[in-house]
Amino acid sequence: MAQTIETHGEPGLRPAGLRGVAADFSSDQRAFKTASWGKAMMWIFLLSDTFVFGCFLIAYMTARMSTPVPWPNPSEVFALHIGGQDVPLILIAIMTFVLISSSGTMAMAVNFGYRRDRHKTAVLMLLTALLGACFVGMQAFEWTKLITEGVRPWENPWGAAQFGSTFFMITGFHGTHVTIGVIFLIITARKVWRGDFDVERRGFFTSRRGRYEAVEIMGLYWHFVDLVWVFIFAFFYLW
């Protein structure tokens, strides 16, 4: 389970561009020369998650294209009654801004982590977790509102029955990802605050030395959750 060390070759003299791709993949020991084991594995997990959400969005596309019944207008379905008039999609817009802000605070946390400023890193990660929890809270509000209005996975008052099933499946899976992210953010923030990554304290589960790269890997997951929302926002809510 150890990280590999290069036993020969000059680390500073790696070719760039396509020649570098060929050299890296045909080299011994490891293909991803500058990404650590943990970071490469997180990227590969995110790639597999991309396919999961890709399949969901494709299923949604197929359902929406193949039904002769009109699709409910998301602009009206997700409107909120504020100040005497219906504002279209306003809750979704707020959720989008909240998630983007959490991505921003996460990027800051990674930055301060590499500067070894553990208090700022931990506070920014907790702020990220708080924004993520706000997002999940608003999603719970949105689900409650739609369910009281009569949306079910098999029917809804406005049009094609597939609207409910795709909505609950896609936003439900995304909300689950956000929730898991919040939990892991809190766990990692606690480790940062305690100074685990300054003294290289070993993880309770993996027994690997704690490093500030854990914050960046956590960040990769969190930004991915934001990334998926960009696609859901575009295809499900705006299309």
Partner 1 sequence: MSETTAHGQSPHTQALHAQDHGQQHPIGLYFFVWGLLFVLSAFSYMVDYLGIHGYMRWTLILLFMMLKAGLIVAVFMHMAWERLALVYAILLPPVLVLVFVALMVSEADYTIFTRLAFFGAAP
Binding to partner 1 (CB under 8 A): which residues in 22-81? 24-25, 31-36, 40, 43-44, 46-47, 50-51, 54-55, 58, 61-62, 65-69, 75
Contacts of 170 by beta carbon, 8 Å cutoff, 6+ apart? 53, 56, 57, 60, 232, 236
Structural tokens at position 179: 């929730």
Q: Which of 77, 89, 122, 182 binds partner 1 (CB under 8 A)?
A: 89
Our finding on whether 115 is near partner 1 (CB under 8 A) is: yes
Q: Which of 135, 167, 224, 236 binds partner 1 (CB under 8 A)?
A: 224
Our finding on whether 226 is near partner 1 (CB under 8 A) is: yes
Nearer to partner 1, 137 or 203 (CB): 203
Rounded to an integer, what is the distance from CA 73 to the centroid of its chain? 26
Q: How far is the CB of 143 from partner 1 (least distance, A)?
A: 21
Nearer to partner 1, 17 or 83 (CB): 17
Q: Are 200 and 209 in contact (CB under 8 A)?
A: yes
Q: Which of 72, 77, 108, 191 binds partner 1 (CB under 8 A)?
A: 108
Our finding on whether 126 is near partner 1 (CB under 8 A) is: no
Our finding on whether 238 is near partner 1 (CB under 8 A) is: yes
Residue located via tokens 């707020």: 94
Q: Show the 3-state SS of 144-197.
A: HHHHHCCCECCECCCCCCHHHHHHHHHHHHHHHHHHHHHHHHHHHHHHHHHCCC
